[in-house]
Amino acid sequence: MKRLFLDIFTWWNSATIGTRVHTYFSGEFVGEDEFGNRYYRSKGGKVDPTLGFQRRWVIFKGEAEATKIPSGWHGWMHHKDVPAPSEVSYKPREWEKPFQPNLTGTAGAYRPKGSIVHQDPHRPQATGDYDAWSPGQ
């Protein structure tokens, strides 16, 4: 029951009912990545006449987070690479980093020293190379 409720009323948990219906009738499964995200395209590779290219989409496993798409699939999603990683033996290059979640807005977000939300909110001492402006000068 909870899954049905989330599918109807939320877009950030996997996919909505509308996306699932569209995928069932108009989608063709292309592949799945190491995170369990499933990738689709228009049935038969049909080109959308209004866009001028093939529609491609992803149904995320769990929370919809765009940074969860690996680099190989990202290239396919954005029409940069012709074949999908599932259609060729895709191997990430040595400089491609593994997924790291975007922690902005969470407790794990980066907070520089001196920030009011840092564990030690005291600002470091000024080095003397800065003269504060005052209206009387």
55 pLDDT tier (thresholds 50, 70, 90)? very high
Overall average pLDDT of the 38-51 stretch = 88
Q: 74: helix, coil or strand?
A: helix
Whether pTM exceeds 0.95:
no
pLDDT digits (tens, 9 = 90+) for 78-96: 988 768 888 888 777 888 8
Residue at 104: amino acid letter: T
Note whether residue 77 is domain-resident. yes
Note whether residue 133 is domain-resident. no
Mean pLDDT of the chain: 82
Pairing assessment for the beta strands 47-48 and 53-54 based on DSSP bridges: antiparallel
Number of domains in the chain: 1
Note whether residue 20 is domain-resident. yes
pLDDT digits (tens, 9 = 90+) for 103-113: 888 888 888 87
- Residue 27, judged by CB atoms within 10 A of its CB (0-12, 13-18, 19+), counts as buried
- Provide the residue range defining the domain that includes 58: 1-121
Q: 57: helix, coil or strand?
A: strand
pLDDT digits (tens, 9 = 90+) for 2-24: 777 776 776 666 777 788 888 89
CB 83 within 8 A of CB 56: no
